[in-house]
Amino acid sequence: FSEVDPPSLGSVSPLGESERLISTTRRGRDSGNHLISAAKTDGRVTLVIPWLVDANDRIILYGNGDNCAQFSCQGEQEKYIRRWLAEDAGMPFEAMELEILFYPAKYHKFASSIFALNDICSLISEKDADVCILEEPEHLNWYRSPGSPSWTNKFHHVVGVIHTNYKAYVRSHAPAGFLAAPLTAGVNCMVVQANCHRVMKLSGVLQEFHPGNEVVENVHGIRETFLLEGQRRRSSKP
């Protein structure tokens, strides 16, 4: 992407010197497509993911059994992510090259979601603020510290990748969902437009977020692991 003017929706040129992929997923493996996409990108790439500071939150989300991944520190979680990328995804070189940055976060049971405990932008230096990809930009920006700068002020170019239909989710599950849904949609529009230059939606059923600056594109793809598992289950049926 150009470091001066945001590109048109049709142009996907090589990225700048450094790229940040900001995600709400907690282990990297839970969002394997995002991790693989970050690892495949040329140039200096940093995957920015949450660190659950409360051990009880980690037990709730990861489990506490023998086959569950538990982390007592960020280093253990980073080692787990790099091992998965090297062995399961078959990308050993990228596993060594990829930079990983954690932001402190809290799991909120009422929303079944993870939210940052401080301003993520403050963790990234100005010299590294080139291109930023926000995975679920509406989710990342529902709760921001007062006075925090927008992502578009921090970075030369910001792309939001949106894949969750929160409007439909709220309508179906929230109290008075028929009233909360349009309110959620309005808030989504405000935070996305304030923090993204361009938006990529994974499906056309998602609401409109940034008129004239959004496109429907399946940037995630489907990993071979899921296809093989589907074939295995289909072949095991009588």
List pLDDT tens digits, range 72-126.
999 999 999 999 889 988 889 888 988 999 999 999 988 788 999 988 988 888 8
List pLDDT tens digits, range 173-200.
888 889 999 999 999 999 999 999 999 9
CA 101/CA 154 separation, integer angstroms: 17
**Mean of pLDDT over the chain:** 82
**Does the structure show a pLDDT above 60 at 29?**
no
For the residues 212-230, what does the mean pLDDT come to? 83
Q: What's the pTM?
A: 0.79
For 205, the enclosing helix (H) or strand (E) is none
pLDDT for the residue numbered 148: 81
pLDDT for the residue numbered 129: 87
Neighbours of 173 (CB within 10 A): 10
Helix/strand number for the chain, H first, E second: 9, 8
CA 44/CA 19 separation, integer angstroms: 6
The better pLDDT of the pair 29, 186 is held by: 186
Exposed/middle/buried for residue 162 (C-beta within 10 Å: 0-12, 13-18, 19+): buried
